[in-house]
Every structure is written in structure tokens, then in C-alpha cells.
Chains A and B, each alone.
Chain A
Amino acid sequence: MRAVRLSVVTAAATVAALTAVTGCAEKSDAKGDGAVQVVAKDDSCEVSKTKIPAGHVELAVENKGSKVTEVYVLFPDDRIVTERENIGPGTKATITAEVKAGSYEIACKPGMKGHGIRQKIEVTGAAAAERSPEMDKAVAEYRTYVQAQADETLPRVKVFTDAVAAGDIEAAKKAYADSRIGWERTEPVAESFGDIDPKVDVRADGLEEGQEWTGWHRLEKALWQDEKLGAEEKALAPVLYKDLVDWQNRVGKAEITSTSMANGAKELLDEVATGKVTGEEERYSHTDLVDFKANVEGAEKSYALLKPVASKNDAALTASLDTQFAALNTLLDTYREDKDSYEFTPYDKVGKADRKELLDAVNALAEPLSRLAAAVTK
């Protein structure tokens, strides 16, 4: 679990909109010719051009109205790119911004109030993405996978939470790791809903002041460390189930792109590299290798769906990913007797040298995997 993360889905959504590196700011600083003239009046907001090349943009604002005004450059979702307040009547102001290709709005707010008088502008540049039927298919299939994982997980969660509610420690211990597999496989998508993860997958040290500890790890501690289920834990079992039903209901609506799939795969291995490989994630039950395997499976699913496109753009990369996925899976198999089961060696029985070998294999895979997003967006 990650206490707070920049969700890959949100990140992907903002990629197109956020500003560019500003290496060229100096040379385009010349006043006049390049600037977009904005004439703000009490009832109008005139913009000299509505098609602007991407990069450093300069707005030369003149307030010809009678009220103090402010001028904004806005993203389509109303987030602010840049703004200038307190432009007095009869005065001029210059606003600069670095913008990537896309749709924006310029808003003048006479009297500095309200929604403003808006003018749509288009920023053009090489970044306009073409739609690819192949990518659309991969995203659709991944969406189906994510939903299926949630659908299949809920009954397993029920077995676990019912056992906890009934006070059956042995049955609960048996059902614990299994109830987490679907979640672990699709964690980056689940985490994109910022509110669910802190309820179901938070660890004791990730709690904010005043936050009640709920979810899997709270029950894990009760089962393995305290070895008793009190009234409080029993009451928390149905809460966990309810929070995961919320996940099941919403997961299909997550915003997913080919980039977020690729980066999500990498993030699953980051989870392994920072949390699982140290034994921090399942510190009471020591079932870290089950999560580990599930994270790798989730990453592998994203990769498999993106591979047809990625292999065309960067065959060497996909060859290396195939090799490293296989190597990591082979290594993981040495920690279970039966390849069809999720019964892995308890992590407290995995020595330091073996943990390092596991991390080395994760790094060997995660490093090329971090280049997958670039390979599918070429």
C-alpha cells in the first residue's frame, strides 16, 4: 500500500495538459510580434488569435474597461495554467506560460468576480496524439481484466471477513492472503481512487493523526500478532467487505490509458522493490511472496496487452522484458511447491541473500519496464 501516491491514472490525464520544460523561455521573450493581444473590457474579452503554437506563450493584456480585471489561462477542466490579478483600468500587463498542444480557455474577469468572459483557444504542436485501434483494444481488454479481478475477489474477501466476524482465527488466517490477490494484481488502478486504498490497505505506520486503522492489515495484526479477535476486529470485517464492494463498483469507471497501463506495470514492481522485498507489507503474516507474485502477474497482464504495439516500436525492449519476466517467475517458483497454488514460503524464512536475489531480479525487470510507456507512445 502507498500512503499517498500520485496515481498513475491522474498523472496520465495531466500529461497532455501540463506545461513543458522551459529551456526556450529566454529566446522567445521578445515583446510584440509573438504575443497574443488580449483586450479586456467590462463586457468583452477580445483575443487577437485563437490558434497558438505550443511552447512559450505571451499574452499582452490591455484593460480598456472601467473595472479592475484579472485574466486567466485555463485547462479544459478549469484548472489554472497561469493568471494575473489586479489589472487596473487603462493599464497593461503581460502574462506568460509554457503550454503544450491542446484546448484551453482564456478568461477575463471584470470586477475580478464570477466565471469570467471566456474565449476558447487551440494550442497546436507535434504532441497531438493519434488514436490507435490497437491501443484502444488493449485498454478495453485491460479494463475487462481489472473488473474481472474485482468481481472474482469479492467472494474470497467474503470468506475472509465472514471468518473474522465469526471469530474463527484459523479459517481467517487461511483465507487472508487469497483475499488480497485480485487487489494486488490491479493495485495502481485501485489506488487511483484516492479514498479506498487508505481504508483497506493502510499499515500502522501510514496512518494520519486521528485516522482510524481499518482494513486488511489491521486484521492481519489481530490474527498473527495479537492472536485474538475482539469485538472491534469482528466489527471491522464487514467494513472491509463494504469498502471493497465500493472498489468493485467503481473500478470499471477508472480512467485508463496505454500510458497508465505501462506505468502501472512498473509501479507494481516498485511496490515489490520498496515494500514486499523488505517484508514490511505483511509484517505479521509474512505472506509477502503472495502479494509479490500477484504484483508481477498484474504487471505481466498489462505488458502482454501492450506487447503487440511495443514490439513493433522496440523489439529489443520486448525481448528483454520477456526474458526478465520469465527469470523472475522462475525464481519465484522456487518458493512454492505447487505451481498452481499460492502457497509460498513465509517471508520470514527467506534469508537476506535470497531477498537480495529476489530484488535483483525485480530490478532487472523493472528497469526495462520503465521504458515500456515510451515504447507504446512512440
Chain B
Amino acid sequence: MKTLRNFKVFGFVTLVVLISFIGVSLFTACEKEKPAEVAKKVELEPIKLGVAGAHSGDLASYGLPTVKACELLVNHKNAMNGICGRKIVLLVEDDECKPEKATNTATKLVSQGVDVVVGHICSGATKAALPIYKDAGIVCMSPSATNPPLTQSGDYPNFYRTIASDDAQAKLEVDFALGRLGVKKVAVIHDKGDYGKGLAEFAKGFLEADERAEVVLFEGVTPGAVDYSAVVQKIKNAEADAVIFGGYHPEASKIVMQMRKKRMDIPFISDDGVKDDTFIKVAGEFAEGVYATGPIDTSTNPMAITAIEEHRKVYGEDPGAFFLNAYAAACALLNAVEKTGSTDYDAVSKALQTEFVATPLGILRFDEKGDAIGIGFAMYQVQNGVYVEVE
């Protein structure tokens, strides 16, 4: 293993040396000469862009849009003569979102000499694959793995992502409640589900870490129960100033309605499971004033509009889940390679952390942990029957 690694390092160094020479001449050449002539002059190794994720099985709908996003972007780049003369090839590998398959996928991509990887899709599979890329010195960027420790633990310096982690919403909710609303006693309620309870636990953690506030109640409600009057009574009895709810809109609207009917006008803060128009439709007048976090709106971003239109043109349908996140990941990686003119691990990492890149999700840079700066959630409030972003 060690010799292999040494060999890799040696290979990288030679590549870097080669590219740094040719790269310089190319950059100057790019402007002067026509692309076709450049291609004739130097035949270069293509850049191998790995795409790993679930492409079959029950989670394929999460992985396939990433493949399509990469195809679109790479075709586009290759039509423009690649990255300064180097064509880009895609190495697409399926992991079915299974951790045990993901390690095989990663090993296969490494043995094929992949330069950078977009993926994996699921947090579990990503976690399994990352050590293999780390040993091989390959940067990996996921469009959809939201598990917080992937970046925050510091175990995977080669990992980046173009999606906000699960705790970002909870953090925003808590900051908003304490800073903007100035509440002191918070009741944290959840629906006992993975998503809702996970968020609620993060919110509880952030609240406990902050001396301005205390958690007066932390409880789960049973989804689908006939009514929630006892829980509402308990919130009132705990003298909470605000409720933070983790879960989806049916439970949220029931709780809000029963609170308002009991004339409890304390703020109700929730997550993107509640930032849904159905919530407003069902809760009606009682929805007024409810806060909910949701992804920052990028629908007016010109790159996003172009990418989605192109997807419709090429594949004849609307893009699926995480398409824009994947597009942004591929943009960021290829931009880092283009800016440094190499696929060297350190150079690419540095470029990701220092160079801003235009993506469908906005202009991005990554922090030293690997989370994208500028991607995240915004706070919305129901005002006159619509969600309005709170400044």
C-alpha cells in the first residue's frame, strides 16, 4: 500500500511539473491560437471525473440526476475544448447507497486513476468510501450527504459538499429564536421520526450550549394522534416563550392550531418539512406568523435556469433531486482543476477553499471543513398566507 502511495505521489509530482510547464504555455496559447490547433499540438491525458452514487435500486432517483448534471456540464466543457486542452471523461460507478458497495466503488474508481469525484449520494455510503479516497489523495464532493460529522469531525479533509448539513437548520432556528426574537425559555417538540427528532436534538444541543436560553420541554408527539391538547397544555405549563418543532406539516399545523385556540401567541419555529404550501392551506389563519427554515431560493439564478432548461432539452424532463447541487459540485471541482491547472490534491483543496466559483446555487467557496459557504437555509415567515423570507 505504501509503495502504491509513493508511486501515486511521484506520479502526481511529475504530472504537476508537466502541467505547470505546458499549462503556462497553454494559458498564453489559449488566448492567441484557435482551439483546434492547440489540440493538434498537445495530446494530453484526459481529466477523469468520477461520479459515484445510487444509480440503481430504490434510491436511484437520488443518484441519477447527479450523473445527468455531470454529463451536461462535461459535454459543455468538452465542447469548449475541455480544461485548457484536456478533455474530461466521466467514470460513472454505482454504489446503490450501500456502504459495502461504496467501498468497492471507491476502490474501482481509484484503480482507474480517477482525479476528482462527485459523490457519493447517501451519507452512509459516503462515509464508507471516504477513507479510500483519502488514502489515494482524491478530493470528493457530495451533492447530497447531509450528515454533520462528515465535515465537522475533521476526519475527512478530502470531503466537500454543496448541501447544508442537517444541523444548519437547527442552528439557524436557534440563532433566530435567541437573537432575533430574544426568547429565553424554549419548548422543543418533534415527531419522533429520524428527520424531526434529529433536528430537534441538534436544536436542543445548541440551546443548551447557549447560556441565554434554556430548554423547558423536550418531547415527541405521536404522528396521526387524534389531538395534541395535552402536549399544548404542557407547553403552556412549562411557560415556554417559543416552540421549536422538528417534523412535517400535518403535526405542525395541528399543534399550531391547538395552541392558537388556547390563546398561546408564542412564536412557532419549524423546519423545511413545514415550509410547504400545504401547511398554510391546512392551518389557514392559524398559520399566520409561523416561522420555518427553508433552502435559500436559487430559482432566479441565471445558471440554474440555464442548467434546468438544458436538462429539459437533452433528457426531455425536469431534473430530479439534488440536480443543482450536483451541477454546482461538478462546477466547483472542475473550476478548481482549471484554476490550478492540476489535479493535485493539495492544489485542488486550496483552490476550493480560496477561489470563488459561479454555480447554479450562487457564488461559492468552501470553508476549511468542507462545507460550502453561502449555501444554507433562510428563515421564512407566513405573512398574509405566503412564506416570506425574513431579513
Question: Do the two shown chains form a genuine complex with each other?
Answer: no
Binding site for B on A (CB under 8 A): none
Binding site for A on B (CB under 8 A): none
